[in-house]
Structure 1
Amino acid sequence: MIDGIRYSVPGDRAKLLSDGRVQVLGRDSVTINSGGEKIFAEEVETAVKSHPAVYDAVVCGRPSSRWGSEVVAIVQLLEGYEGLEPEIIEHCGQHIARYKRPKAVVAVSQIKRSPAGKPDYRWANSIALETKQI
């Protein structure tokens, strides 16, 4: 909104910083509501991808009886790495708030993306649901 007039509704969340810049937070369509908090998948993806063994990642939510939804990271590790799921979760804590950290990390051979390079969140959701521990 500018002077009370809405010019567009792009589906992105952003906030106006005190210096006049706009910080884009993430897409509404992939926002995860966990324990009453809004978690932007893109923010968590950035934290996950900062781990040196992660080649690519996509983050989504899956149903949780405790939280409503829980954060799940689907990762493609660099060749030669495996079994780093707990380490990746801990690593994320250096970059994002504890409640935003993934509750689970699922390693896959390749992250599915559209021809334009955008993450396939439907695919990620299906992987997250398939791997849910009971």
Structure 2
Amino acid sequence: MGAEVTVLSQTLGKKDDGLAFGATHYHATSDPATFEALRNSFDLIVNTVSAPIDMAAHLGLLRLGGTLVSVGAPPEPLPVQVFSLFNNRRSFAGSSIGSIAETQEMLDFCAEHGIAPEVELIGADDVNEAYERVLKSDVRYRFVIDVDSLR
């Protein structure tokens, strides 16, 4: 849709998927060279993980006036070194789920542009197995329970 998108992920395990979904670049954050190579590169980083990240390292990836927005909520506080914000006038923001009207607007936008999620559809009887797979990190995307299986 006109943006140059870079995926930052812990490993290169989903690189093919990220590029197939439209990303131009894909980098592993487990490689320290990534942070040096991409320093001051991004206008916006959307952090979707609900796990702790190295905030100083990620904020260092932002260019002048860049913003890191967290939409994932890790169980522990994320420590932010204030001086990492001062450099290049960086910002750190958060966002939670929107209102019903905002959700509808997002769904309408997705429908207009042919954007659909990648999910694994499961029956209600498979919920326990799905939960075990979540615990083993054996989930590629999201599980969605087929409503018809509840009848």
TM-score interval (norm. to shorter): under 0.3
Q: Which has the higher strand share?
A: 1
Structure with the bigger RCO (C-alpha within 8 Å, sep 6+) is 1
Which structure's CA Rg is the greater one? 2
